[in-house]
Chain A
Amino acid sequence: MAAMLAERAPLPRFFSRGALALVLGLYTIYTLGPFLWLATMSVRTTAEISADHYAWPKVFHWEQFRIAWVDSDFATYFWNSTIVVVGAVAVVTLLGAAAAHALARYRFRGNRLVYGILFSSIIFPPQITLISLYQILVDYNLYNSLLGLTLVYVSLQLPLTVYLLEGFFARIPQDLFDAAKIDGYGDLEIFRRIVLPIGMPAIATTLILNFIQLWNEFLFAVVLITDPDKRTLPVGIRAFMGDHFQDIGMIATGVMISVIPVIIVYIFFSEKLIRGMTAGAIK
């Protein structure tokens, strides 16, 4: 009986693995399909796309990238996005890590109150702060400025960053801090030499999440920036959408340009991202 079972066992395993591969394959097509479609559209003209939405490009119009980058000011939008998003992500990461370390490690009056307030701000939709942020930026002459948008982005992403990092930092054993203290290091040095390197998987996770979120952010950018020279990429791409005509080919090219930095950041930090997401799952 046992021998029969042993002989029969590989068949169900084959099917279960086959089923898993099928599900993963279908999911990959489902997620990758639209991206490939967009990629093909980015090298086709709008007229070609209108003629046949799903056709493979007969001629690869690589010049569309040059036109978007040079003639359609995508270079400006790209650098605006880079300045705002890299600046905001850098500040959010540094401030968020420091705040998370303080909340996770130091006992002080109001610690949990601060944490509770930060956490509650994650629950509400960010749109409800739009009008008040608009007014604050106007009051401080930061409306329609990249600095103003950067500060808004920092305020939007900081609570979630602190929340995620606090959970990770709280699990760093106290003994490490005690050992570093005895080794002669002060609080700031311990933060820099122990907390940041050990917390790097979690920091990479928040860094990628914040980068993707802000790189694609549209609502605050479109409301708080009016000057065409200060547009970020998502707002710049929107400029190709008219009321009566939409330049689909150029929109696709613009989206492809905007996707490249996200892919680069992801490739660079993906290993740490996975480690951050699976931290604590296995010892």
Chain B
Amino acid sequence: MAVVTLDKLSKQYGPTGPVVVDKVDLHIGDGEFMVLLGPSGCGKSTTLRMIAGLEEISSGRLSIGDRVVNQVPAKDRDIAMVFQSYALYPHMSVADNLAFGLRRRNFAAAEIERRVQDAANILGLTPLLARKPSALSGGQRQRVALGRAMVREPMVFLFDEPLSNLDAALRVNTRSEIIKQHKRLGSTMIYVTHDQVEAMTMGTRICVMNAGRVAQIGAPLDVYWEPADTFVARFLGSPPMNLATAVVTSANEGSVARSQSLETALTRWSPQLLGKLVDQKVTIGVRAEDLHINKAALGSEPAGHVRGRTIAVEPLGAETLLLVEIEPGVEWTARLPRHVPVAIDETVDLYFPANAVFVFDAATGRAVIGEKRRDIRQ
């Protein structure tokens, strides 16, 4: 069973140095595809390197399968890793690169040959086996790196931003290739990326990290629809979630959050919870795709609206991004259909449905949990 468990895993450089990974708890199930997602410097790569055995663990416990591997060297952890830079040995042919790890483990020559041929067939590398890495394209090199991990048949695959050096088209192809191989092999895979599209499309679950800590763990759509805090809310989603500070007031028809430019009914939260928030400051969030310039497009009466001055219209072809300044220094972005009948410096109202409203504690940024959100488009 290739279960990987991180129990309060921490990394500190030197006794007084910075803590780059801070008490990370994470349980990765057998055959799961776990994505570690976060911005640069959030500690995701360091966490992966600790799992790989390339970085010493400062404190906490790391288990792979049913054994604690804190003190086990990288070569004995039964893992394979795919690096961002591919890390192919430049003086060896593709075949030798694939076989290098197997030779060290004293596999029989016939078995090495079989595994190399199998991996080459699956990844379309057979015509390239005699070539050196310098004679390969970026995509081919990445497939060799993937093949080198596959031939080992390890318990756990580790990926450290493996698609970052590829162009957009190749990234989509290689992404599909990795997903395909995960389905075929059924192995546990841990994948580090800062790209939310990769995280959303590849992960069984994603673990969002911020400043060395776990911000949220969950299935991609759960994290997207139920972000634990404002960091996750803004990190996941492009453009990032729109946020504004408002005050909760109680009216006859229910609770309402209001600011100078925004007003919305709060229907997903219980009266008891909202009672505690009355006269308190909260942060209201609405995703760009949930904002509508045309009330009728909502299909029902909007729960709220925001008013602002347009500062930019960005036509992207299939859609248009409308940037609106709702308060001095607070900009909201709406993702609208192709044609937007507004001009710059015009005052506009943007409408949104009840399900699109997120509420966060203004002080801590933590989400105020309401009723489970149904798919907003249903």
Digitize B95-114: 1 where CB-to-A-CB distance is under 8 Å, 0 elsewhere. Answer: 00000110011000000000
With A175-B83, A179-B83 known as contacts, the answer to whether A184 contacts B105 (CB < 8 A) is: yes
In contact, B80 and A182 (Cβ under 8 angstroms) = yes
In contact, B75 and A185 (Cβ under 8 angstroms) = yes
In contact, B101 and A178 (Cβ under 8 angstroms) = no
Which of B75, B91, B104, B148 sits near A198, CB closer than 8 Å? B91
Residues of B within 8 A of A181 (CB): 53-54, 73-75
Residues of A within 8 A of B90 (CB): 198
Residues of A within 8 A of B73 (CB): 181
Complex CA–CA separation, A182 to B86 (angstroms): 14
Q: How many residue pairs between the two chains, A and B, have CB atoms under 8 Å in the bound complex? A: 54
In contact, A183 and B104 (Cβ under 8 angstroms) = yes
- Contact of B116 with A by CB under 8 A: no
The number of chain A residues with a CB under 8 A from chain B is 16
In contact, B81 and A182 (Cβ under 8 angstroms) = yes
Minimal Cβ-Cβ distance residue in B for A178: B54
Closest Cβ of chain B to A160, distance in Å, is: 25
The residues in B between 33 and 58 inclusive whose CB is less than 8 angstroms from any CB of A are 49, 52-54
- Contact of A125 with B by CB under 8 A: no
Which of B53, B87, B105 sits near A179, CB closer than 8 Å? B87
In contact, B83 and A184 (Cβ under 8 angstroms) = no
Which of A173, A176, A184 sits near B104, CB closer than 8 Å? A184
Which of A176, A182, A194, A197 sits near B75, CB closer than 8 Å? A182
In contact, B89 and A173 (Cβ under 8 angstroms) = no
In contact, A178 and B81 (Cβ under 8 angstroms) = yes
Residues of B within 8 A of A185 (CB): 75, 104
In contact, B83 and A178 (Cβ under 8 angstroms) = yes
Complex CA–CA separation, A182 to B72 (angstroms): 12
- Contact of B79 with A by CB under 8 A: yes
Digitize A155-189: 1 where CB-to-B-CB distance is under 8 Å, 0 elsewhere. Answer: 00000000000000000010110111111110001
Which of A173, A184, A198 sits near B87, CB closer than 8 Å? A173
Which of B53, B54, B86, B100 sits near A183, CB closer than 8 Å? B100
Residues of A within 8 A of B53 (CB): 181-182
Complex CA–CA separation, A194 to B74 (angstroms): 17
Complex CA–CA separation, A185 to B84 (angstroms): 21
Complex CA–CA separation, A181 to B77 (angstroms): 11
Which of A173, A179, A197 sits near B91, CB closer than 8 Å? A197
Closest 10 CB pairs of A and B: A183-B101, A175-B87, A184-B104, A179-B87, A184-B75, A197-B91, A175-B83, A181-B74, A175-B85, A178-B54
Where the two chains meet, the residues of B that have a C-beta atom closer than 8 Å to any C-beta of A are 49, 52-54, 73-75, 79-81, 83-87, 89-91, 100-101, 104-105, 148
Where the two chains meet, the residues of A that have a C-beta atom closer than 8 Å to any C-beta of B are 173, 175-176, 178-185, 189, 194, 197-198, 200
Chosen A-B contacts, 29 in total, with CB atoms closer than 8 Å, are A173-B87, A175-B83, A175-B84, A175-B85, A175-B87, A176-B87, A176-B89, A178-B74, A178-B83, A180-B89, A181-B54, A181-B74, A182-B52, A182-B53, A182-B54, A182-B74, A182-B79, A182-B101, A183-B75, A183-B100, A183-B104, A184-B75, A184-B101, A184-B104, A185-B75, A194-B89, A197-B91, A198-B89, A198-B90
